[in-house]
């Protein structure tokens, strides 16, 4: 089986993508639809949902290509409320090396509206983590996404793809801090972007309050970010005078702030990083309000992207060099029975030892368990890389007719 991806992105669709942006609830609903499909004995084997403000993508493995692509497309179109014609005009289907290449480009920030933005790595990691925790993704996609994140780290460390101050979070923080002093900034949202912008603001001297409708998320923020206050999001309308700036980085199906919440004149800067929007655009008409949406934030950093754009070529060279490793992993899984048996036995030992170890630690949170899974996957892959390469290089060579039998004997296959 090869990796398959169904993708809808703002880069491909343009303004029409606004209708496709998923809320957090929409992401959960999409994962549940896919889980229901897997439970009904469809050819869908495992999947990951990667949804950001600029893309909705499903990466998956399946025993049948056409039937499963049709099923995944039907599920995604239904969640987005699109008819078949509209969906087909927006979506792309990628397969095998093309799907892997696309994932590497996405994780590395090449496909982002702001080239090289750092948030996409955390979003990619969150996508595989959540999909594993709900039972949608398993070992094959974990391995693929783990390697994609490693490639993304290599791209950022070996190229200038992340040069300069050109991330959504840093620009949003700069807008809030533009007047100087120690402004009072409210950050609505506790996800990857909300937590990151809160940290940047705190480190730059702002008085930061993080708002959320979920107490457990506020508890996590209090544990992770010292010197940051928290507040239930329900108190926002009555607390607007407490803030000089507001940054929205959350996921909602309705406006959290509209003109009815504001008086005839206020002094407030608002940055809405959300898709769909969390702030009614009509708020911009209130005297004293300066409203910035995600498109405007993206435009503000365009002048800083020259160095990053120059680095895209270097990043693409790294990605192309890494594709060989991914293709090798697929060949191991699908094309070489002997190597497949070797990796299968190694995976059985790895899983057995993981299960035995986890029984000793009853309080490990899911993210720590995932990190342990990824660590043991890496160890197995690195240990078997050399013998697997030797088998491919020498097994078919005329001067080594007995190598395969020797290989079987050594590894007990």
Q: Write down the domain spans for the chain.
A: 4-158, 168-300, 336-411
Q: Which CATH class is domain 168-300?
A: alpha beta
CA nearest neighbour of 135 among 36, 68, 3, 22 = 36
Return the DSSP state at 257: B
* pLDDT at 398 (0 to 100): 45
Helix (H) / strand (E) element for 289: namely strand 287-293
CA distance readout (Å), 260 to 66, 129, 220: 50, 39, 31
Instruction: Specify the CATH number of the domain 4-158.
Output: 3.30.460.30
Rounded to 5 degrees, what angle do the CA atoms 301, 306, 312 make?
110
DSSP string, 338-367: HHHHHHHHHHHHHHHHHHHHHTT-TT--HH
The predicted structure's pLDDT at residue 395: 55
Separation of alpha carbons 91 and 370, rounded Å: 31
Question: Both tokens of residue 281?
Answer: 């655009």
The pLDDT value given to residue 323? 82
Question: Does residue 381 have a cis peptide bond before it, meaning omega lies within 30 degrees of 0?
Answer: no
| Range among 41-45, 312-316, 360-364, 398-402 rated most confident | 312-316
Per-residue pLDDT at 24 exceeds 90: no
Q: What is the pLDDT of residue 325?
A: 65
Listed residue (288, 235, 229, 230) closest to 257, CA to CA: 235
Pairwise CA distance, residues 377 & 147, whole Å: 10
pLDDT at site 56: 94
Mean pLDDT, the chain, whole residue set: 85
Tokens of 131: 């999909």
Distances in whole angstroms, Cα of residue 145 to Cα of each of 276, 375, 382: 27, 13, 16
pLDDT in tens, 108-148: 999 987 788 878 998 999 999 999 999 999 988 998 999 89
Asked whether the beta carbons of 156 and 164 are under 8 A apart, the reply is: no
Per-residue pLDDT of 317-362, as tens digits, reads: 899 888 876 665 554 444 357 777 787 888 888 888 888 888 887 7
Tell me whether domains 4-158 and 168-300 share a fold. no
Residue pLDDT, tens place only, 267-278? 899 999 988 899
Tokens for 350, please give them.
């790895």
Average pLDDT (90-99) is 91
């Amino acid at each position: 089986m090869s990796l398959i991806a169904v993708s809808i992105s703002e880069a491909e669709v343009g303004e029409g993508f606004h209708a496709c942006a998923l809320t957090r609830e929409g992401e959960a609903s999409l994962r549940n639809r896919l889980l229901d499909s897997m439970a009904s004995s469809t050819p869908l084997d495992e999947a990951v949902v990667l949804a950001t403000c600029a893309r909705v993508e499903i990466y998956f493995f399946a025993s049948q290509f056409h039937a499963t692509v049709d099923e995944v497309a039907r599920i995604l179109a239904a969640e987005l409320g699109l008819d078949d014609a509209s969906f087909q005009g927006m979506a792309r289907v990628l397969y095998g090396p093309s799907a892997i290449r696309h994932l590497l480009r996405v994780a590395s920030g090449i496909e982002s509206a702001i080239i090289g933005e750092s948030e996409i790595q955390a979003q990619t990691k969150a996508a595989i983590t959540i999909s594993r925790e709900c039972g949608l993704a398993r070992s094959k996609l974990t391995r693929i996404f783990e390697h994609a994140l490693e490639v993304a780290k290599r791209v950022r460390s070996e190229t200038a793809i992340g040069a300069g101050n050109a991330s959504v979070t840093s620009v949003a923080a700069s807008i809030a801090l533009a007047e100087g002093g120690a402004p009072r900034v409210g950050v609505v949202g506790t996800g990857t972007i909300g937590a990151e912008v809160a940290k940047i603001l705190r480190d730059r001297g702002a008085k930061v309050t993080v708002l959320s409708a979920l107490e457990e998320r506020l508890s996590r923020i209090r544990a992770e970010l010292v010197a940051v206050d928290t507040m239930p999001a329900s108190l926002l309308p009555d607390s607007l005078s407490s803030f000089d700036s507001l940054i929205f980085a959350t996921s909602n199906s309705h406006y959290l702030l509209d003109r009815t919440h504001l008086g005839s004149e206020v002094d407030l800067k608002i940055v809405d990083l959300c898709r769909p929007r969390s702030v009614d655009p009509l708020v911009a008409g209130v005297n004293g309000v300066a409203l910035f949406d995600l498109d405007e934030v993206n435009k503000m950093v365009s002048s800083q992207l020259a160095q990053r754009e120059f680095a895209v070529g270097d990043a693409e060279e790294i990605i192309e060099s890494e594709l060989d490793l991914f293709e090798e992993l697929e060949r191991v899984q699908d094309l070489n029975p002997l190597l497949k048996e070797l990796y299968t036995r190694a995976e059985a030992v790895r899983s057995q030892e993981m299960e035995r170890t986890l029984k000793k630690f009853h309080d490990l949170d899911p993210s720590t368990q995932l990190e342990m899974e990824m660590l043991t996957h890496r160890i197995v892959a690195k240990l078997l890389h050399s013998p697997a390469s030797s088998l491919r290089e020498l097994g078919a060579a005329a001067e080594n007719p007995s190598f395969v039998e020797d290989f079987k004997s050594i590894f007990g296959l």
